[in-house]
């Protein structure tokens, strides 16, 4: 595995699994709508913070959110976003996240179906990646209130790579304000 000194300010359409020597900001979105959601998200946060090459530096509140897409009759989600300083190579990071999803009972049946734990890599520095297994920034992050609301708590002025608008501006244009509410009663 190689290493590079500069942040990745370029587009890749192939597997780039390179550690950085200079840490990059990384945002991971967490979601759960099956099982003991609060315990799962707390456990996932601890597990992510233990990954070598990641340093947890910020945590949004939890949000109660109405399910978007997928089969009807799904339960409400708890969603949140965590911020890290990261040097871990992106595909290795994806593998670590998928292992944590499995550790918390994730089963993949249908797309956007109910799940104990979903970990989505929202953005990793300025890296733009379009591969079968990993896209960065996450291709739907900019249109999802359940991602943007917690992300705006952490970095309202961030522009996701490739997006002309800042997170808080994107959020202000989205409908469905009543479908995403900050869970002020839940600490994690
Ligand atoms: N993948 C590609 N890019 C990424 C990335 N940046 N981060 C690939 C994580 N994974 C990425 O994901 C499918 C494949 O995406 C993975 O194998 C990975 O290689 P998955 O987690 O297996 O399945 P999924 O989550 O059902 O699919 P997808 O398309 O990632 O769904 P989304 O867009 O993440 O949406 N409503 C509410 N209220 N809250 C939610 O959290 N989540 C979803 C899932 C739908 N509705 C929701 C919520
Ligand atoms: Mg996912």
Under-70 pLDDT residues of the chain: 1-10
Spatial neighbors of 94 by CB under 8 A, at least 6 apart, are 121, 133, 134
Question: What is the model's pLDDT at position 113?
Answer: 78
C-alpha distances out from residue 151 to 3, 104, 113, 158, Å = 28, 23, 23, 9
Average pLDDT for the chain: 92
Question: What is the model's pLDDT at position 9?
Answer: 66
Residue-wise pLDDT for 145-184, tens only, equals: 999 999 999 999 999 999 999 999 999 999 998 999 999 9
Question: What is the model's pLDDT at position 1?
Answer: 36
Question: What is the model's pLDDT at position 2?
Answer: 36
For residue 145, indicate whether it is catalytic. no
CB 147 within 8 A of CB 138: yes
Ligand in nearest proximity to the CA of 81 = 1
Question: What is the model's pLDDT at position 8?
Answer: 66
Q: 103-112: long-range contacts (C-beta < 8 A, 24 or more apart)?
A: 103/47, 104/40, 104/43, 104/44, 105/35, 105/40, 110/70, 110/71, 111/69, 111/70, 112/67, 112/68, 112/69, 112/70, 112/71
Question: What is the model's pLDDT at position 5?
Answer: 45
Question: What is the model's pLDDT at position 3?
Answer: 39
Question: What region, left, alpha or beta, does residue 50 occupy, with left being phi > 0 and alpha being psi -120 to 50 degrees?
Answer: alpha
For residue 118, indicate whether it is catalytic. yes
Q: Whose CA is nearest to atom 11 of ligand 1?
A: 134
Residue-wise pLDDT for 84-97, tens only, equals: 999 999 999 999 99
For residue 96, indicate whether it is catalytic. no
DSSP assignment of 124-167 equals: ETT-EEE-SS-EES-TTGGG-HHHHHHHHHH-TTPBPTT-SSBH
Question: What is the model's pLDDT at position 7?
Answer: 60
| CATH pick for 11-182 out of 3.30.70.560, 3.30.365.10, 3.30.950.10, 3.60.15.10 | 3.30.70.560
Among 105, 109, 117, residue whose Cα is nearest residue 80: 117
Question: What is the model's pLDDT at position 71?
Answer: 86
Q: Catalytic one among 42, 120, 166, 182?
A: 120
- For ligand 1, residues with CB inside 6 Å are 31, 65-70, 77, 79, 108, 111-112, 118, 120-121, 133-136, 138, 140, 146
pTM of the model: 0.94
């Amino acid at each position: 595995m190689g290493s590079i000194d500069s942040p990745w300010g370029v587009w890749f359409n192939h597997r780039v699994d390179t550690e950085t020597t200079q840490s990059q900001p990384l945002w991971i979105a967490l979601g759960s709508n099956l099982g003991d959601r609060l315990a799962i998200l707390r456990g996932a946060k601890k597990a992510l913070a233990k990954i070598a090459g990641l340093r947890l530096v910020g945590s949004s509140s939890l949000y109660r959110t109405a399910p978007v897409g997928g089969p009807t009759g799904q339960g409400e989600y708890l969603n949140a976003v965590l911020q890290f300083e990261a040097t871990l190579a992106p595909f290795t990071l994806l593998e670590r996240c998928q292992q944590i999803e499995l550790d918390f009972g994730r089963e993949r049946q249908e797309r956007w179906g109910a799940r104990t734990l979903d970990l989505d890599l929202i953005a990793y520095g300025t890296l733009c990646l379009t591969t079968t297994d990993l896209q960065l920034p996450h291709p739907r992050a900019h249109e999802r209130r359940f991602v943007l609301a917690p992300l705006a708590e952490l970095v309202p002025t961030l522009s996701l790579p490739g997006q002309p608008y800042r997170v808080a501006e994107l959020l202000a244009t989205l409908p469905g304000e009543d479908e995403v509410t900050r869970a002020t009663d839940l600490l994690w």
